[in-house]
Amino acid sequence: MKLSSMRYLNKQGLENIWKNRMMAFASFCVLLVSIMLVGIAVLLFMNLNSIIGGIENKNEVIVFLDPEITQEQTETVQSKLEQIDNIEDISFYSKEDAFDSLKESMADYAQVFDSLGNDNPLPDSFRIKIKDISLTEETVTLMNEIDNIYHIRAPYDFVNVLSEMRKIVSWVSVVVIIALSIVSMVIISNTTKASVFARRNEISIMKYVGATDAFIRIPFFVEGMVTGFAAGIVATIITWIGYDALVDLLTKEVNILNVIGVGSIIPFNDIAIKVAIIYVLAGGLIGALGSVISTRKHLDV
């Protein structure tokens, strides 16, 4: 096909949007709603995951060291702990720190502590953050193999609940997103079918004068793609505004986030470009393919 023909067909596609503006608008709306439906579901689940992740980050495995441990042995334990893959962060918590914080938290019992004098019964410890908390048990087993450890305290119940929650959220999100995608595709395919059906005569005339399938399809492709792009752009803007407004509302008006940690909500700015690219590409692709596939039935003349 010649360049001038390609130019002509692209122009035809763009003009067709205006000429068939009612149907183009319907396709645009359906694409917009579909993209947003799936997009918002994805964002919601991303945030849920991030919030669970935020809570997980507050988990702590405490490794208490032998009371009689030497400085050198402490360093050996630390270097061995550092070699374990699933450990994200290790901080040393000396028995003095522990004693001070205990005294602080139990100020009413100052006399009891005073009676102990300089006799500190608490051991040194390492506070450890685990990367993947579902592997806590295995990680603790590895830690247990290290010498000079007196006791390890791990939040197993907490870990189990969170792992379960994450599993459930992942499954629910996959199911919901697939369901929404299917619903969207059905609606989109029906809309594009209706839009193409309205122009089936036009397609058959083109076939009669000897137009190839590609020649007929390119304008539909361009038309669907541009409509999809537009839907993607508008969906990005609406999602952005809506998302920020919701985050604003949750942080300012509702106190839940103070409990679970505001930091766990993903700021839109961090994902704006990704969201925009995915929305626009998805819109363009679905729009273009939708209309091209719908023309197929009418090309057999």
Partner 1 sequence: MVELKNVSVTYSTGVDALNHVNLRINDGDFAFVVGSSGAGKSTLIKLILKEIDATSGVVMVNDHNLTRLKRKKIPEFRRTIGFVFQDFRLIPSMTVYENIAFVLRVIDAPRKYIRKRVPYVISLVGLQEKANSYPNQLSGGEQQHVAIARALVNDPQLIIADEPTGNIDPELSYEIVELLKGINECGTTILMVTHEHDLVRHFGGRIININSGEIVFDEIIGGNNEA
CB of 228 to partner 1, least distance (A): 21
**Which one, 32 or 196, has the nearer CB to partner 1?**
196
Size of the site for partner 1 (CB under 8 A): 22
**Which one, 208 or 252, has the nearer CB to partner 1?**
208
35 vs 47: CA distance, rounded Å: 18
Q: Where are the beta strands (DSSP E) in the chain?
A: 61-65, 87-93, 125-130, 149-153
CB of 132 to partner 1, least distance (A): 56
CB of 205 to partner 1, least distance (A): 5
Residue 298 CA, chain-centre distance (Å), reads 40
**Which one, 117 or 210, has the nearer CB to partner 1?**
210
Q: Based on the shown chain and the rule CB under 8 A, indicate whether residue 2 belongs to the binding site for partner 1.
A: yes
**Cβ-based neighbours of 237, under 8 Å, separated by 6 or more:** none
Nearest of 203, 177, 217 to residue 301 by alpha carbon: 203
227 vs 287: CA distance, rounded Å: 7
Interface mask (CB under 8 A) for partner 1, residues 242-281, using x and -? ----------------------------------------
CB of 204 to partner 1, least distance (A): 8
Nearest of 8, 76, 19, 29 to residue 192 by alpha carbon: 29
Q: Based on the shown chain and the rule CB under 8 A, indicate whether residue 1 belongs to the binding site for partner 1.
A: yes
**Which one, 11 or 151, has the nearer CB to partner 1?**
11
**Which one, 95 or 207, has the nearer CB to partner 1?**
207
CB of 206 to partner 1, least distance (A): 7
Sign of CA dihedral 36, 186, 282, 14: negative
With CB under 8 A as the contact rule, which of the stretches 145-153, 203-211, 222-230, 287-295 interacts with partner 1?
203-211
Q: Which residues bind partner 1 (CB under 8 A)?
A: 1-2, 4-5, 8, 16, 19-20, 201-202, 204-213, 215, 301
